Chains A and B, each alone.
Chain A
Amino acid sequence: MKEIVIISGKGGTGKTSIIAAFASLAKNKVLCDADVDAADLHLIMHPEIKERHDFESGHTAIINQDKCTECGLCRDLCRWDAISDDFVVDSIECEGCGVCYYFCPEQAIDFPLNTCGEWYLSETRFGPMAHARLDIAEDNSGKLVVLIRQEGKKLAQEKHMDLLLTDGPPGIGCPVIASLGGATVVLIVAEPTVSGRHDMERVAELAAFFKIPAMVCINKFDLNPDEGEAIEAFAKQRNIKVMGRVPFDPAFTRAMVQGKTIVEFDGSSEGCEAVKNIWKNLAQRLEI
């Protein structure tokens, strides 16, 4: 089975619009939304949820005020300053390390498992989809990313499909690292701006760090062709295959507003032609 993970470094470069278009074009695939922190792919896929599961991960300390003698040991040991003067744990600051729970001489601290989101297996008009929702202000996004990709793979195996199309998160931190491991290839969607190039270079470095082959395509290329060419030059230097250029095309936004992929919305638009071409290049190179 092959997995294409779409990342970008910088947010808002068009990852989700482009993967939605791929969903229209690819055959025999499972879709996976690994941007669990701000998942948007479902707004175009309109998945019909078949299975719903709680996502449990990490613990939070809770002090039982009846048993607490206010000895202060927990406050001394907590490196997150998560315990207030009156011995209440701030659940946002609590890292879930369990040090207070372990050392409390009165056993006055509970340390329950957190439910911090939900994950789903769904059907869409383009095939099966694995996706998730992380609760607001939660950590553990990396673990949910790993889980949702595993579930996507299982789903593909069950349905005898040989491709996983994964929408990754922005940035280069925990959830992005979690979305890279074991991927066949990452496709970086870059935008031709000074910041887009800066961020693309960092995320390309990250892919190289974890030895995942990378490819790049540039969205809104005509916004600044000089920057676009600079990104392509950087890519060539680093052995990152350039898959194509997508012009600035308002049809992407109009398609999104209607909850459609650009292929469904306007198959003859410039943007759609460009994405089709990129998909053709990708499919050829990955032999899918």
Chain B
Amino acid sequence: MPNSASSRDVDALMRETGADVGAPSPDAVDAALDRVLAEAALLEQGTRARPSGTRHRRLTLGGAMLAGTIAAAFAVINLLPSSGASAGIGRAWAKDVAARSAAVAAGDRHGTLHIDVLVTQTAAGTAPVRYRVESWSELQAPHAYWETTVSGSDVTTTTVRRNQIESYDSRTNTLSVAAKKIGAGSSGPTLFDPAYHAALTVLYPRDAVRPGSANHLPPTLSRLIAQLLRSPGVTVDRHSRIDGRPAIRITALRGRAVLYVEPKTYRPIVFVTHGDSGAARSITISMRFGAYETLPRGSVAPPDLRQLHPDAKR
């Protein structure tokens, strides 16, 4: 082919191939503007809510120190393995996605929230600790709660019904029964769920030693996640991936809490919390949800531990 095409021909060809992508409709422009302004407002709130560097350092340092205290407290009831963890996190955007994800995380008020989660705790210089927690929380009265924690060969089952706590530990074949004080306004199993307490330790080290004592701390893992998603400065990445599949990645607390949710259902897939204690050690708690669903009211009931373990020591 002769080389006779001129610069003008090149430009004409280029224009013919790509100039027209269609003008956006006025509605599309309005919607895009609303979205930008909403996200800009969220970003500004996040900036204002950001703690000072000194305060942040103090909090994270405190986190590392208090992690041990928390672990020790939970060792008493054989629920919490005794370690923390380390890794990295990310970022992104979209207010409505965060709101929908928060609603799914909080669960339907008229059902029983069923969560099956595999928790991995890692801390610099220590071997990872893994355990599994399967829990059921009635989100309406009488707010019964029960959970099974599996750590190695040790299985602990705890039920909380009408202020009565029963806990069976397979390692010692012991059934403990106690009365639980539930404060006004606190309907949740504040003292249970090691996954929740592990996340709390990393995110709010100062308050984690007295779970439920600080008004701003939600009493359960599901409500903690929902609160994080509704907090200022949340960013959403709708085109992320986790475990090789598409996911929405939602980041809160400037990257210290990251939740991956399914794009269509907003169901939590993975929740990662990270505390960086600088010169001390960083801790990462990674939770993979095998189940995160609201079951119909009355479809499940807490197990009767006395009947299940008649030979248990008391």
Do A and B associate with each other?
no
